[in-house]
Amino acid sequence: MPRKGKNYVDRLRGPKGECELCGREKPLTEHHLIPRAVHGKTYFKKRFSKEEMTHRRISICRSCHKGIHRIIPDEKELARDFNTKELLLADERIQRHVEWVRKQR
């Protein structure tokens, strides 16, 4: 079994920048506001163009990203009800999580 060394860890991290949710300077990941898992579903094909589904994303730190998927694990719900940064931040659970993340290193 290969070791999970420096190169493995580097692949998990994106470029360093400011998280669009918490504002911390951290390695960033891309969060698809319309998760890729639902791009083929008829409901979403009727409501969003392919380009809109593909390009609607935000750059966020891993802590914020993990929190979003832990708080809202259903990808259909994420795509339907939280498909903009503003809708995400309007949710009280996400707000509390982002406030908590801001206090972390």
Say if residue 99's pLDDT is above 70: yes
The pLDDT tens digits for 40-54 are 999 999 999 999 999
d(CA 13, CA 27): 6
**Mean predicted confidence (pLDDT) in 93-98:** 97
Q: Which structure tokens are listed for 50?
A: 């392919």
- Name the 3-class secondary structure at 21: coil
Phi and psi dihedrals of 21, rounded to 5? -100, -55
Domain ranges of the chain: 16-102
